[in-house]
Structures are given as structure tokens and as C-alpha cells.
Structure 1
């Protein structure tokens, strides 16, 4: 097997996003090679999430240049979306507290099977497709460090019953099912204890070491970690404003009301919670809009609310048929 890192190199020069009320962030400059761990540090409201969305092709930039895997932004936003995935982004890619772990996994794998593979893969025997989906889910759970056996009710555990670190691991696992070259994680250390924060960074370090480039928004990056590429937001001020005044945290989403499909949920197969007994039960996909009260979607985040999206591995198009396609995927299985 080829052990070459498949992660995407990321560069930015004078990169910025501007909205109706001013700059969400500006003058971002950094270079990170494939398989890097990039920590985006800054206070809430400093444009951290806007930067995450812009670098994954979900928000249009207004200044400077950036490239992800050699794909320029904003010119190749659709292509960038196809090789990136979001995890733990409030309002964009978050978990539904009313659904179980198994339902989330099953929906995500179904969507990946529908959009993430080739037409030839869709024509494979059903048993072979099930085995492939199960392998993807198992690999993603292992990489995220989520052991289903340790959960209160195993795969039938509701998201609302997960600890914060467990919910973070699940969100990361769902994003990894698509095999992204760049994984973007928001609010990485939000309300985590010191031990949980250390465990979260250990997980992200492991993903980067395995070859996936990781972009993680945080309040405090690991101290003294030379392997982390640190990017700070909120440190630049608008020359037209009083010196030291922070940039405005709002920006206009590129496409209103679009939802990213790598982390949001809303429709679930009726028997998804019983999927732990079969390989098919662990094939899941995510689509739609989340319910209220998700523990992975705190208020006060510097999110914009709606973005462009294309599941990782999907054909690079600028169309906005994610939700309709997801529904088609579920309908074709006969288990919508």
C-alpha cells in the first residue's frame, strides 16, 4: 500500500473575507505541507470559523490568495469542497442529539456510497458494497478513537447521551468516512477538561501523522508543540478603524441555506438504531438540518450559518443538489 501522505498542502497570502459589516478576518498568511496539523487560534467572533469555511471552499474570499492541494481559491471552490470535509461546525456540520450513533453512521455511509464512489462501484454486488461500507466506517471510528463498546448503549447510544469528547470523536469519524485530504474541525477544545483537551489533540495529531491535513479551530493550541502550524485570527485591525479595534466577525455566505452533508443530519432510516447487528446497519449518511440542543453546536460561535457544500469525494460541481441527492440515496435503499 502506498504510504505517501494524501493530505493537501495549504497556503494563504493576505487572505481575507469581508461581509456587509466589515472584515470577518484579513491578512492571513501561512504555509502548511501535506499531513500538517494547523491550529487556528483566536477569541470567539474573530473570524475563526469563517477562515475554516473559506479554506474548505464553503465561503468566498474577498482579498488575497489561497490554495488547497494546488487548487486556487475562490476560483476552484467546488473542487476544494470535493477534497475537504467539515466536523463539529455549529449550524453547518453538527450532530442531531435526537439520533443514535448508529443512525448517524448509517446515513453517512449511505451518502458516501451514493456520491463518493464511481458508477462501477455502485454496480457491485450488494454484499460487497456492504462489506466496503463497513470497512470505511470501522476505519473512520478507529482513526477518531471512538470505541462503540465503551458507549452506554453501544451503537444505539443517542448523541444527547455522549460526553463532549465522544461527540467530537463521532463528528470527526463521520467526516473521515469520505476520505478527505483536508479535515476541518471547529471548536476543537470547547468546554473540554485538560485531560479531554489533551486527548483531542492526540487524536488530531494521529490523523495528521497518518497523512490527512487537519485544520483545527481552538481557543488554546497545544503548548510547545513544534509540529503545529499556528494561525491567529483577530490580531489584525482595519487601518480605517481605531488602532487595535478587532475586525467585524460577520461575512456574507456564498450560497444561503446550503448545508454541508459531512456532518449534518435530519433524516434517518427507521431501523437505523438497530443497525449494530449487521454490516448494513453501520452504513449511514447525513443530510438536512439538525435539531436544537446539540452539544456539539454551542451558541456564541463565529459561524455564518450557511455555506456551499459538496461531500468529500463527490464530483466537483457548483450545483446545489446535496439535500435532494441525499434523499435519493436513502430512497434507493428502500429504508428512507
Structure 2
């Protein structure tokens, strides 16, 4: 384990996840110290969420090696899950729009007390346990920057009535109730205005500065974040072997080939972009891998 009391170091080399129809992502390298702000950047369908799930022990890797908080993946997936938490991962960990803020907080506190606390904690008096749960909730709300008093109906406000940034803060607060060493947030800047996006990154930056390692999926990372990209590198086309005559000199090119080098005819259809077929297969692999994680 790391010697640090809280944040988890993240190290990965050649990491990859493969779905039934192909790779979700490949060849990802990361070196991040405890308390780092890590931004997973890349186009939609490039395996960003799959990488987030893999680094939190919720999706099995198929290539490379990784360590989170000193725990190796995929060997110690259960142990990694115990020290990490997810916030707003569609299909895996998301808010119920019919629940109120209070119901979400109460449910998470009960789950934490039942499954995240040592057995001896369950033997303490009920009043003591309730006070501890209330303290965890208050601390998580404060850290996430969510004041229930500012909501339309206070803690009785339904999730469906929350603004996008408020819902993000609630998701983060729920994840923080378990005091994770690594907080993973999906779709950090989706559907946010520029001002809201700045506030969201300010929140995550504050959590990282307090010691929690933060892993955030985004479309555009801030300059001060450690950026990890899942974008595919374009493959270099292989040069065709040069044909030679019996005397060893280069063979003359047919007129049709020579004309093609001068440029296509105006009516000619442009050739498909190199690697397009592979990118499609990779996106299918990412979707399949994510679907498997959602069913797990």
C-alpha cells in the first residue's frame, strides 16, 4: 500500500480493455501521485468510461499492468473497488430522478454503514451510529459544495428538479460519504455552460488539493490537469514495394497509375479515411465492454 494516508497513486503501462467486438482502448500509460487531478480526454466512443471503470476495479483489463493505491490490477479488483468511488457514471452509478436529495443521502449512508464499516462499528449504540452518519453526510455535502438550503424544496427536492451542476455536486457528495482514496467522475463537463464547467473543475481541483486523487472524464481538460488521452493514433500506411524490371531498374508505371498520382479526376470519389474501419470496431468494443460492466 502507499505510505500516504489518503490519496491513491495511479500507475499504468500499456493498459487495454477488450470487448467482444474489439478493443475499447489500448496502450494507455499513466503516472500520477496521490492527490492528482487526472483528466481522461478523448472523443466519444474512444473508451474513456471504460478506462475510468478499469482504474476503479470495475472492468477487467486485457493488456498491460496497473496499480492503484499500491494494489495491482486486475488481480486486486475487489480491493481497488473498496478504496475508490464512482460519481455519475450512466448505466453503472447514476442518480434516480424520482428520488429526493434526502433519500439518496440516507440510502448511501445506510449502505456505507452496512457494507463499508468494520463489524465493531455496527455494535455501537444507535444514537452514536446516527450521529456518525449525519456527520459523514454533512462533511460530504460541504466538500461537494452543495447546500440543500439553496435548493427549491431543500432536501426534499427531487433529482429531476436539480440543475445539471447541482446533480453533479450531489453525485460527488454521495461518492464522498465513503471517504474514497480515489474519486472517479464521468462526463464532468457534459451539458454545462462555460461558467458551470469552471465551477465543476474548481470543485474537483479543491478535492484533489485536499488529498483525494480525482479521475475525471471530459471532452476538454483544464491546463493544470494530468491529461490521459484515449484517442487512437492514426496508423501509418505501409509503402508499396517498388517493382523492378529484369535489369534491376524501376519498372515504368502504367499510364493509369501515373495519372492517378497527378490527382483524382474531379468526379472521383474520395477514398475512405485511413483507420476508419478500425475506429468503428474500437467504438463497438468500448460499447460492448461498457455494457458488460453495467450488467455486472
Same topology, TM > 0.5: yes
Contact 1:41 1:231 in 2 (8 A): yes
Q: What are the Cα deviations for residues 78-114 of structure 1, in whole angstroms up to 9, with x where unaligned?
A: 1111111111000100000011000000000001011
**1:153 offset after TM fit, Å?**
0.3
| Matches of 2:209 and 2:141, distance apart in 1 | 16
Q: Equivalences for 1:175-194 in 2 at 5 Å?
A: 175-194=175-194
Write the distance in 2 (CA, Å) between the matches of 1:24 and 1:145: 34
Distance 1:79 1:238 in 2: 37
> 1:52 aligned to 2:49?
no
Aligned partners of 2:102, 2:41: CA distance in 1, in Å? 33
Query: Is 1:14 aligned to 2:14, yes or no?
Result: yes
**1:147 alignment partner in structure 2:** 147
In structure 2, the partner of 1:231 is 228
CA distance in 2, matches of 1:31, 1:147: 35
Instruction: Name the count of aligned residue pairs.
Output: 256
> After superposition, what is the alpha-carbon deviation per residue over 1:219-244, rounded to whole angstroms, capped at 9, x for unaligned?
0111x32xx11001123357899447
Secondary structure at 2:35's aligned position in 1? coil
Distance 1:165 1:117 in 2: 30
1:102 matched to 2:102: yes
Instruction: Give, in whole Å, the separation in 2 of the partners of 1:56 and 1:114.
Output: 21
Aligned mates of 2:89, 2:186 — CA distance in 1: 5
Q: Deviations over 1:291-334 (max 9, x none)?
A: xxxxxxxxxx997134389xxxxxxxxxx8xxxxxxxxxxxxxx
Tell whether the 8 Å contact from 1:45 to 1:302 is kept in structure 2 after alignment: no
Instruction: Please state how far the C-alpha of 1:21 moved relative to its aligned partner.
Output: 1.3
Aligned with 1:217: secondary structure? strand
Q: How does 1:112-191 map to 2 (within 5 A)?
A: 112-191=112-191
Would you say the 8 A contact 1:47–1:302 is kept in 2?
no
> Greater share of helix residues, 1 or 2?
2
The 3 A distance-change label for structure 1 pair 185 and 128 is same
CA RMSD of aligned residues (A): 2.2
Deviations 1:162-206 (A, max 9, x none): 000000000010011011111100000000000000000000001
Task: Name which one, 1 or 2, has greater alpha-carbon Rg.
Answer: 2
In structure 1, distance between residues paired with 2:84 and 2:71: 12
1:171–1:302 Cα change, 3 Å:
farther
Q: Could you tell me which residue of structure 2 aligns to residue 307 of structure 1?
A: 293
Kept in 2, the 8 Å contact 1:27–1:236? The answer is no
Q: Does 1:248 align with 2:282?
A: yes
Three-state SS of the structure 2 residue aligned to 1:134 is helix
- Aligned mates of 2:18, 2:107 — CA distance in 1: 35
For residues 85 and 186 of structure 2, the distance between their equivalents in structure 1, rounded to whole angstroms, comes to: 11
Q: Which runs of 5+ in 2 are unaligned?
A: 238-272
Runs of 4+ aligned residues of structure 1 deviating over 6 Å after TM superposition are 238-241
TM-score (ref. length: structure 2): 0.82
Q: Distance in 2 between matches of 1:107 and 1:160?
A: 17
SS in 2 for 1:249: helix
Task: Give the match's secondary structure for 2:17.
Answer: strand
Partner of 1:27: helix, strand, or coil? strand
